[in-house]
Amino acid sequence: MPNPPTSTTVNLTEVREKSRIAREIVSYLDDALPSMAELWRRIYAALADTLMLIVEINRLNAANRLLRDDCANLLAAARATLGAADEGTDPDPLYYVRDEVNAQQQRHRDGA
């Protein structure tokens, strides 16, 4: 595939585990120091945001993979069209591009 995706430098599993540990610590501190309950609530809310960010990163990574696949497939179809046009033997060299565009439209309609 042209332009292979770069690997993520953040280990989301590790981030999730660190967040879990931090939430446990905050829970313990909340029990030990109830006079600071408002502070612990704020910290806990910030840690909960970490989990939502992990979910969003995973969603965006999946969407990015689909877009990269679409682009790679369109590029392959364009190359096939150009090759067929250069050979001059194919009565409809644009078939490859039209077919891929239709396939992508169908995938997106189906929610894939």
Give the range among 43-47, 51-55, 108-112 with minimum mean pLDDT: 108-112
**Does any domain span residue 5?**
no
Give the contacts of 60 (CB within 8 A, at least 6 positions apart).
Answer: none
For residue 69, being part of any structural domain is answered with yes
Q: How far apart are CA 18 and CA 14, in angstroms?
A: 6
> Can you tell me the mean pLDDT for 57-80?
96
pLDDT tens readout for residues 84-103:
999 998 999 999 999 999 99
The total number of structural domains that make up the chain? 1
Residue at 81 is within a domain? yes
pTM here is 0.71
Residue 88: which H helix or E strand, with range? none
Q: Is the dihedral of CA 83, 89, 93, 95 positive or negative?
A: negative
Residue 52 resides in a domain: yes
User: pLDDT for 1-46, tens place per residue?
Assistant: 556 666 678 899 999 999 999 999 999 999 999 999 999 999 999 9
Cα 28 to Cα 36: distance, rounded to the nearest angstrom: 12
Cβ neighbours, 10 Å, residue 94: 14
The boundaries of the domain holding residue 21 are 12-110
Place of tokens 């969003």: 56
Burial class (CB in 10 A: 0-12, 13-18, 19+), 24: exposed
